[in-house]
Structure 1
């Protein structure tokens, strides 16, 4: 079971199903992020676009561990659910986040800034 609300989980999974047939081709879909996750006490941020339908614990998105090197990649939802910051607080969903551009733009901006600004 995931810590994500069911509606968000379903949207991520739907994107994964749409991406699956075109993954690794010129037709890959540059989705807008579905969800922003963050640690309130550890300066980490994730913008996720999809869940792998073959591996439903694996999500894809922009990952920023607060070290100045945000990158696109895969992350385990189970690991995110277990992450705790300095004060022991879990990863949270930013319920006010609304994506305004595709993940590639967030990635380019984050690379230039050294962190996700969303």
Structure 2
């Protein structure tokens, strides 16, 4: 199982929130549920160290831009004790708006 946020990723999310507000940012991290379709592409973290912003898809066919709590995601438990994981191979190249457009069209987060 991967660590949801390395110190470097956390620092980048916090920096984006502090310095790049109202900017169409490239996602910093991708989280996913290995047992289902839930996926999060995150661009920012509030200074509280918990509230993250990005493209949130709970696997119900309605991905949307919004906020998610790091603490809550850390405590989600799937079958056999599985936890939410970080996609260590995620290499984003497009701004969040393009991922959101593709997700709305496909009704799920997709690689673009």
The match for 1:25 is: none
1:36-47 matches, cutoff 5 A: 36-47=30-41
Question: What's the CA shift for 1:44?
Answer: 0.7
> For residues 1-118 of structure 1, what are the structure 2 equivalents within 5 Å?
3-19=4-20, 22=21, 28-53=22-47, 55-118=48-111
Tell me by how many angstroms 1:43 deviates. 1.6
Structure 1 residues 88 and 43, CA gap change in structure 2 (3 angstroms): farther
Provide TM-score, normalisation by structure 1. Answer: 0.87
**Which ranges of 4 or more aligned residues in structure 1 deviate by more than 4 Å?**
none
Q: How many angstroms apart in 2 are the aligned matches of 1:110 and 1:89?
A: 25
Question: Does structure 2 retain, via aligned residues, the 8 Å contact 1:84–1:90?
Answer: yes
Structure 2: 5+ residue runs without aligned partners? none
Q: Which runs of 5+ in 1 are unaligned?
A: 23-27
TM-score (structure 2 length as normaliser): 0.91
CA distance in structure 2 between the partners assigned to 1:49 and 1:30 by the alignment: 9
Count of aligned pairs between the two proteins: 109
Q: What's the C-alpha RMSD, in Å, of the aligned pairs?
A: 1.4
Deviation of residue 86 (structure 1)? 2.8
